Structures are given as C-alpha cells and as structure tokens.
Structure 1
C-alpha cells in the first residue's frame, strides 16, 4: 500500500536557503511520547519543565501516541498521512514524525530523554546568525573510519535534537527519502516480520539522516562529503546554510567528553535510553 501511495506523493517544494536566511527560527520546542505526563520516565524527571524554564519565550508542545495520527492527518496531504498512519512500528513512526514536524513547523525537536543545558537562543554563534537555517550536531565520530560496516561515512549526525526553519530543503529531501525507504522495507516484509535494529537505523534513523545531510553538504559545496572533514571538530562548522556542532554540543557524555560538566559548549545532554531497542534485535 505504501508503494501505491508514494507514486502520487506531493511533498512541498523546499524553500530557497537565501529566502530562509531572512526568517527567524520558530520559537517552538517539540517532543513526542506515549502520553503527556509531566515526568515521562524515572530517568527524565523534570526534563520537560527544564526545556520550558530555560527557554521561557518558546512555546512547548508534545505530541502523544494517541494524537499523533490526528496531528499528521490534519496538517499533511493524504498521501503522506496515509503512509504515517499505516505504520505500526513505534520507532519508525516516531522518526518519521520528527521529520514531518521539522519540515512543516520548524523550531527545536528534542527526544524526551534530552536535557537542555543552554538556552536555544545561544546555540547559533553571533557570527553565523544571518547565515544558518538548520543546526545539527555530531553524535558519533569514528575518526575517518566507517561509522558502521560498509558505510561511506565516518561520522553519525544526531537526529534526537534538531533546530530547523520550516521547509528547509534538506528536511524536505529527508522526508521524501525516508518514506521511500519505508516503501522498500515493507516490500520485503511479511506482516508478522519484525523490523531489526539495523533496518530502523538505515530506514528512518540516524544512518538515513546522516546520508541525506552528507548528500546535501555535497550538493551545496560541490565537494564530496564523507564526514572526514568534520573529524574531531571543536568549533561549529558552517556548511552551506547548515551549522554542524562539535560532538560535545549535542552528544556530550559524562564518561566520554572533551569538556567538563557545566561547560557552556554543552548545549544538551542525551541519556540514550533507547527503550525501543529491545524490540528490534539484529
């Protein structure tokens, strides 16, 4: 069914980066979870409140399992909404949701296990204020070695935290890429087949996200990007209209870090709870 739908897909035309430069980042914070409880898990007590407290001028919104279908049906063409509502795997659905929200609404997407350390207003250095339309961070860096077997990339970009302006061309491409990945995946699956960890990562997850971003970097610079050029960066790097942050900005871990806790370069902390992994082996 997904393949039939995608033949008539009507993704919006992306906004030109020059036009996006003239628009501010939306002051919105987006999260999703099973429900709208104030403290979603024992490990994330106070996290949603901290997002609102650190960013008082931003609107906070959480999309839940019960209302996500309605959200997508109300805001997207039927071809896209049917793809989304047909998904039964929670993590595939959550990944597609984040990309749809960033494409349509912009602002900040943060997974429920992400804790803010610095206000969103400080994420883009002043020297880049009029040149950045999308902010992503390095999650993992293999120092010029493949990030996963057979991969042409040596870094993995984080998709658990994204700052975007609506209709950014890379995010529009990402939505198109992910929905086509889903169609190919389910061509090979029986209804009773489980989706593996590797399939999640490459279909909707960080591998797919990294692939699209590397292709975008290559397109806007005319130079092939593999992640090697971002190896070990300690300062934000502007590639086209995308600001790429060093690993400690979004991917800081207390046990593996370049900066001590409290350093202003640490913008968010991700707990990597990964509650979905137990159901996706392989």
Structure 2
C-alpha cells in the first residue's frame, strides 16, 4: 500500500489512538454518554469548520469565520427581541452576505482569499463592536428559550446541538456529493485553470463556497449566543485556529480538491479529544493555542499537494 493511500486512513486512525490514550488516562472518558457530550460541546466549532471546509476544498481559505461568528452573537442578541425565532434568518443571511463579499473580492478584484477574508473579518469585527457598544450583551432568558430553547435540550441523551450539527453535515455533504455545485467545487480545487478552460463558471461557484462558509460561521455564532445567553465581539475568540486544524487534520489540504466535509467530522473529533486531554493534564488555554499552532504547521506540511505549489512565497 502506497503512502498516499495510507494518508487516507491517518485521520480516523489518529482519532482512535487518541481516544484510547485519553481513555487510559481516565476510563470514564470512554463512557458512551461522555463521548456524546464531548461531541455536543464541539458543535459550534464543528459547524464553523464545516463552512471553512468548502472554502479550503476549492484551494482557498476563510479567515473571517471567527469574526463573522463573533458579530453574529451580537446581532442575534440585538434582533431576538424584534424578530424572535426569525432573528436566526436575519443573522444567517448576514453571514451569507459577508461570505459572498469575500468571494467577490477574491474573484472580481483578484485579491488572494487569505487577504480578502482577513479584511472582511475586520469589517465584521467592527460591525460587532459598533452594534454592541464594545460591551457584552445579554439575552432575555424567556425570549431565548421561546425562540431557541430547543437548541439547548436533549432527546434520549443526545444533545440537540449535536443533532443540529449532523443535519448541517448532511446538508453540506449533499451539496458536495449530490449537486452539480459540489462537482464543480472539486474541479476548481483539483485544478482551477483546467476548470476555467473547460468552460465552467468558476467565479460563481467560488463566491458560493465563501458565501456558504460565511453562512455556517453565522450559524456557529448563533449557537454560541444561545448557549451563552448573550453576545460579544469576542465571544468566539480562539476558535479560528482549532477550526482550521479540524479541516486540515481531517484530510482536506490547503491546496484543495480532495477531502471534504466528512473528513472534517473526524478532524473536529480529533480536536475535541485533544482539548479534553489538555483539560485532564491541566494545560492552560495559552499553551493550547501553541499546540494547535504546531499541529497546524505539521498538518499543512504533511497534506499539502506540492505539485500545485512548486514555489512557496
């Protein structure tokens, strides 16, 4: 079996090994209910990573996801008294719009996606700061429970936020594997010049990928807001790096064209288990960021397709 074929199995093998290692540290970790709760806790990060997968799948990157999620927590808190449950549609539409702007800047102005999304993320941060008055906002508990209380409950021991994550995973998987858009996104990631030469409307689908990434980031922000009963321009701070790590260690390389949303499910669980192990070892949050930074470098080095990047600048 070649190294390339072995690489396909690295993510799930890594996940199993990590679970066994943490289970050896604390046998209670292996209890099914504990693993389910662990998956539920990682739901907002996983949803953010799902959207980012679509941007990375085409060979781009979305660095605005965290800022869009932060902005969404503020907008959700502000719009809840006005629109109730329909505030979800408002913030999701705003996230979609911000993602589409990133796509337009990338395709129409030919600005690299990491610059375009970084700039759009800065705009989202400013919107969140302005709308919140640079302070934390709090939701009315009654209004929150009437509109979004179902997100916080559980059925047969399964957290509803986990169910929501799986529904969104199914939606993203359907786009990737059962729609024309998914086939074109794969073609763009595999070789954009060839996709253009074959007559595909590449720019339109690149914009769609970034728009969907913004939409998923907004849904993650909404879930953050509901879970923590409020909003802040920094509420989702520290989630961008683990979300990128979840995509890359899951097997979707920065050069795009392979991997996908199912891979990100495995990657997100790897991140969840690693974070849990750090809690058991009493490793502080600052050191966790250092660890994820190192993992990110290693993941890129191992997964990147150098045939598409003969020169690195």
Establish whether TM, by shorter chain, passes 0.5. Answer: no
Q: Going by fraction, where is helix more abundant, 1 or 2?
A: 2
TM-score computed with the length of structure 2 as normaliser: 0.29
Q: Which has the higher contact order (CA 8 A, sep 6+)?
A: 2
Larger radius of gyration, structure 1 or 2? 2
Q: Going by fraction, where is strand more abundant, 1 or 2?
A: 1
TM-score computed with the length of structure 1 as normaliser: 0.31
